[in-house]
Amino acid sequence: MTIEELDKNLKEIGVSESKYYLQGLYGSTNDEDKIALVIKRGKCSIEYEIYYKERGEKNSLKIFTNETEACEYVYKRLIDNKKIEDSIFRKN
What's the pLDDT at 91? 62
What pLDDT score does 92 carry? 55
| Full-model pTM | 0.89
Res 88: pLDDT? 79
Residue 87: per-residue pLDDT: 79
pLDDT number for residue 49: 97
Interatomic CA distance for residues 33 and 89, integer angstroms = 20
The structural domain count of the chain equals 1
Give residue 70's domain range: 3-91
Residues of the chain with pLDDT under 70: 91-92
* Per-residue pLDDT at 25: 94
Give the end-to-end CA distance of the chain in Å, rounded to a whole number.
35
